[in-house]
Amino acid sequence: MEKYRYRPLRFYIICFAVTWFFWILAAVISCSEHDNGVSSLMMLFGLIAPAVTAVITVFTSGSRALKDDFKRKLIGFYRIKPTSIIVAVVAFMAIVALSILLSVLVAGQSFEQFAFTKDFSFSIGGTSALLTILLAAVIEEVGWRGYGEDSVAAYVSWFTESIIFGFVWALWHLPLFWIEGTYHYGLRMLGAGYMLNFLISVIPLGFLTTWVYVKNNRSMLACIIFHLFVNTMQEKIAMTPQTKCVETIVVFFAAVVVVLANKELFFEKEHIGNLL
């Protein structure tokens, strides 16, 4: 049987075209007086675009190996290594704690950042904020880990893939900065530097997610758990925008440590052409 050939360029062009189409519509509608929740619906359509694209790509591929691999990644509990998930979660907790401490010592920020916020900064279409974050984690990972990340890693090392995907993932978020009511819109109102910080922070975070993904035998479920935890921490811990700039630096060094401690994982090339 002929090996399946991943098509990353086609996948990402479709994802960006569909997501940006709906999110640009959402940005225009959110500024009007007659929104009535339409912008939230457009945001949801844009959010699910990568997942829908991944599912359609996989299940119309004609490749039994690709379909089976997708199912195993999503529901294969046996792939998960609980210890690695715990290490990843504890590591991110340490990143947040260290970022706050550094912001207190260096930037004069408050220790009150260790408190929990009263609510999340956003929700979609009246859905509870916690459910929105859960859905976002699941939907994004079905798209990115369901097909997107593998489609690049099929041709390069996981290190190179993490760099490429990090830039792509950051740019994918771009229209959100112009949709009123989003966390990203709030950053734009604070200044371009905070927008840039968010985009930069996504890249080293991509290395941590890749580490979780590969360490757990390419488990989509493991990434959903980690993604959900990261989103919740970013929303519920009362970090200031200034502290999140410090956090970007801490995440960068954490990513360096993870790569150096897992050089074989990030730089081996035996998986190229053999992911399935």
- Catalytic residues, by residue number, are 140, 173
Q: Helices 129-143 and 220-236 meet at what angle, rounded to 10?
A: 140
CB atoms closer than 10 angstroms to residue 207: 25
Please list the alpha-helical segments (H only) found in the chain: 8-30, 38-59, 64-75, 82-107, 129-143, 149-153, 158-172, 183-190, 192-215, 220-236, 241-261, 263-267
Report CA torsion sign: 141, 142, 144, 149.
positive
Q: What does the alpha-carbon distance between residue 111 and residue 113 come to, in Å, rounded to a whole number?
A: 5
DSSP structural state of residue 219: -
- 106 exposed, middle or buried (CB, 10 Å; 0-12, 13-18, 19+)? exposed
Q: Residues 244, 197: contact at Cβ < 8 Å?
A: yes
6: left (phi over 0), alpha (psi -120 to 50) or beta: beta
Q: Which two tokens stand for residue 234?
A: 């970013």
Token pair 């530097």 is found at 193
Q: For residue 61, which amino acid is it?
A: S
Residue 237, φ and ψ in degrees, nearest 5: -85, 130
